[in-house]
Structure 1
Amino acid sequence: MSRFLFVVPPLVGHINPAVGVAAALTSRGHQVAWAGEPALVRRLAGRDATVHPCPQAGAGAGGQGTDSDTARPAEIRGPEALRFLWERFLVPLAEAMAPGVRQAVDGFRPDVVVADQQALAGALVAEDLGLPWATSATTSAEFTDALASMPHVAAWNAALLRELRARIGDPAGSGDPRFSPHLVLAFSTPELAGPPARGGDRVRWVGPSLTARPSSAFPWERLDPERSLVLVTLGTANTDVGARFLDRAAQALRARSDRVQAVVVDPEGALGTGAAAGPGERDVIALPVVPQLELLARADAVVCHAGHNTVCEALWHGVPLVVAPIRDDQPVIAAQVADAGAGVRIRFGRASADTIGAAVDTVLYDPGPRAGARTIARAFRDAGGAPAAARHLERLADGRKEDS
């Protein structure tokens, strides 16, 4: 029996994949603990989860799990967005979490630390203490080496990491803390992500890590089995910019109500329809929270922001996508979907109802995107998911060499 410490940021999309892996390890007789924000981790991993508190100073999510790096202006793009992410979220979060991670290691004494790519304190503290550690890569965007064409930005990023390591890790250490020298768990497959430009032979493609989640109420009786079901969601980070897009999507899908029924995730009530049924509200069911995995098992298409978790969960079910990336890693993931033939990419800021509707028609009625989605679904299932990730972690804990 081994002991595994998961170090996670206060972001739902980064914790959920780890929850599945932790459950697989527990079922195999191992002990698991967490370093992170207790209320959020317990909401996702179960109220009995062992959580060592880590302050989340500098994290705009504030422990609420909104998957927002901070209150970043929506208009920031490109290198400025990267700078904002690192200077306003990743570095402050690492510095705030580092003392709690050290206390968690001292109290739990793990054999292996599993550090999310955005919880840099996990990697740097494990490196400093000489512990084996694995990277939990909950998005495949980092494998593309997007900064290769921007050497000045890459140099700035490397200097920032060196300075952070000097403050909270081993100043003599080297290497990118987002890529463990021991094991990198990638929750995707090359069929979607393409060959990795970073990580080398340490990368293990395990596909999505899915597990049961706390259920949310849903009016299942309002679903019409005679119509195609389209799920529309912009994730938990984009409520500040999503109202216009959700309105256009609802218009597009209402115009197709003779053959399409929509479920729209509407956290801020932008559509104003609520949960009560009324005229037209069987065409567009708008709710602040939905049981996404259960709906994906019934869905025929998904319209989303190209968030990595939503994309992979849809493709796990063989559901093609309309992707409208907004920021961060989303343009990279959207390009992966389009390149894999599993969906259609549109421009978020300029998408009209007609544009969204035409894209939905393509993924519903053109056989190509559905075939592409099913190809990726097979690859995801063959990759093994959370049980495969658990086996790789067991090998690391036992000191066994990973097969390439």
Structure 2
Amino acid sequence: MKFLFFPMQAHGHVNPMLPLIQELVSRGDEVIVYVTREFEAAVRNAGASPRLLDDALAVPSTVSVLPGAGGAPSMMQMMPVLLGIMRKSLREAPRVVERARTEQADCIVYDPMSVWGRAAAAKLQLPAAIFQTSFALSHSPTIQQEMRKGMKGVPPPRALLAIGRLLLTSEVMHWRHGMPRMSLGSAFTSVEDLNIIPVPRKYQPDAESFDERFLFVGPSVLSRNDRGDFPLEQLDGKPVLLISLGTTPINQQPGFYKACFEAFRDTRWQVVMACGKGLDPATLGPAPSNILVRQRVPQLEVLERARVFLTHGGMNSTMEGLWHGVPLAVFPQFGDQPFNAARVSGLGLGATLSAQDALNPKALREAIERLDTDPSYRSRLSEFQREFREAGGHRRAADALQQYATTRRGPRQKAA
């Protein structure tokens, strides 16, 4: 069979799909993935064939376009950038759909935040499945209520202008090309007859509300072969603390990294810190001798050696940390990260850090020590790891996807 994959162009959205893509290829299926050049090598390494998109559709790695971006950008600052990408995606969607039409595929798999993927699913009338890279949202009152809380208040003028432009472009593309209309909420609540959710059912809020269309397969953690020249041997025999705020522009927080310098300078910890490619490590000043600072690190390989993971709480990082049985100190920023922080804390798998604690070296050090020395965290993590193994991961997802594509050939019927 031939599958078309349409991820959103960000590491946290492409990476979770790669094990499933690799599994399908290993079974003899042909997989085509629509990505920007940044992800071309990763797609080829998974055995699939990339189809290159305009680089303007990628989530930017820096926030220099935003005024006053001296620390982490707020959601309101990020909104015009993200909505601008969605607007570009709407304009590009007709060309992508026509290109996808020539592939003669059997099934489409799309990230609901991938505008061109959703358009291809609607226009080509092929069996279509969703790969949701975070929580399932459509039937979760808990998450929807929290999202409404986070969006209270009037957005700033730049955000309002971006919203207006997006909705206008959506209408134009609908009337000119028959593209599905876009709304601010539809990117999060779209539902197909098969929805693959890469988290364990036990981790999903309101899990009982989701019917058989939702397949909770848990994460699939496979090496990304991204070690490069990172000195993993330097970690041997030492208690390792991994610090990373992910790959999006929220990782540009020099004040936080400097607080980490002070918190762990000359301690027992071997710290591995990823500051993101948008921030030059030299701007942080000389690093303590026990802290390795890189723009990017081989996260999976470091987690295999880590005792604690200080993370922003993105779903990809959260799942990878829990998969390896590492207690999490979650310093959430925006999006699904506060939900992850609350879920991790509620399940006793780690702790949530407030901004005040994360920027206070003494409080930060005490939180990390508590996670490492309290045996109850590792005990609960050990129990929870069984949930990951039993969920089935990429193999269960591939089984379901192949069966779905086989039984749904012909005009597809969208889920209500």
Amino acid across the alignment from 1:251: E
Q: Is the Cα contact below 8 Å between 1:7 and 1:101 reproduced in 2?
A: no
CA distance in 2, matches of 1:232, 1:75: 16
With 197-206 and 117-126 compared, the bigger mean Cα shift is at: 197-206
Q: Is the Cα contact below 8 Å between 1:192 and 1:376 reproduced in 2?
A: no
Deviation, 1:99, is: 2.7
1:221 matched to 2:233 = yes
Q: Which residue number corresponds to residue 353 of structure 1?
A: 361
Listed as ranges, the gaps of 5+ residues in structure 2 are: 153-159, 410-416
CA distance in 2, matches of 1:82, 1:195: 28
Q: Which residue number corresponds to residue 42 of structure 1?
A: 40
Deviation, 1:328, is: 2.1
Q: Name the % identity.
A: 28
Deviation, 1:148, is: 4.2
CA distance in 1, matches of 2:298, 2:149: 43
Going from structure 1 to structure 2, the CA distance change for 1:163 and 1:375 (only over 3 Å counts) comes to farther
1:378 matched to 2:390 = no
Deviation, 1:266, is: 2.8
Q: Is the Cα contact below 8 Å between 1:217 and 1:291 reproduced in 2?
A: no
Alignment of 1:5-404 (within 5 A): 5-37=4-36, 39-46=37-44, 49-57=48-56, 59-61=58-60, 66=61, 71=66, 80=76, 84=80, 87-89=83-85, 91-140=86-135, 142=137, 144=140, 146-148=143-145, 150=148, 163=171, 166=174, 169=178, 176=186, 178=188, 179-196=190-207, 200-215=211-226, 216-225=228-237, 227-238=238-249, 241-254=252-265, 257=267, 259-267=268-276, 268-269=280-281, 270-273=283-286, 280-281=288-289, 283-348=290-355, 351=358, 352-399=360-407
**3-state SS in 2 of match to 1:108:** coil
CA distance in 1, matches of 2:376, 2:174: 51
Deviation, 1:187, is: 1.0
Amino acid across the alignment from 1:247: K
| Deviations 1:327-384 (CA, angstroms, capped at 9, x unpaired) | 2221111111111111010113652111211110121011222223223322112112
CA distance in 2, matches of 1:374, 1:163: 50
**3-state SS in 2 of match to 1:46:** helix
Aligned residues: 382
**3-state SS in 2 of match to 1:369:** helix
Listed as ranges, the gaps of 5+ residues in structure 1 are: 275-279
Q: Is the Cα contact below 8 Å between 2:109 and 2:129 reproduced in 1?
A: yes
Going from structure 1 to structure 2, the CA distance change for 1:190 and 1:171 (only over 3 Å counts) comes to closer
Q: Is the Cα contact below 8 Å between 1:229 and 1:261 reproduced in 2?
A: yes
Q: Is the Cα contact below 8 Å between 2:245 and 2:251 reproduced in 1?
A: no
Q: Is the Cα contact below 8 Å between 1:187 and 1:205 reproduced in 2?
A: yes
Q: Is the Cα contact below 8 Å between 2:217 and 2:396 reproduced in 1?
A: yes
Q: Which residue number corresponds to residue 157 of structure 2?
A: none
CA distance in 1, matches of 2:399, 2:41: 25
Q: Is the Cα contact below 8 Å between 1:57 and 1:96 reproduced in 2?
A: no
Q: Is the Cα contact below 8 Å between 1:115 and 1:123 reproduced in 2?
A: yes
Q: Name the Cα RMSD after superposition.
A: 3.4
CA distance in 2, matches of 1:340, 1:67: 34
**3-state SS in 2 of match to 1:393:** helix
TM (normalized to structure 1)? 0.83
CA distance in 2, matches of 1:32, 1:288: 31
CA distance in 1, matches of 2:332, 2:254: 15
Q: Which has the higher contact order (CA 8 A, sep 6+)?
A: 2
Amino acid across the alignment from 1:378: R
TM (normalized to structure 2)? 0.80
Deviation, 1:23, is: 0.5
CA distance in 1, matches of 2:349, 2:259: 23
Deviation, 1:17, is: 1.2
Q: Is the Cα contact below 8 Å between 2:34 and 2:51 reproduced in 1?
A: yes
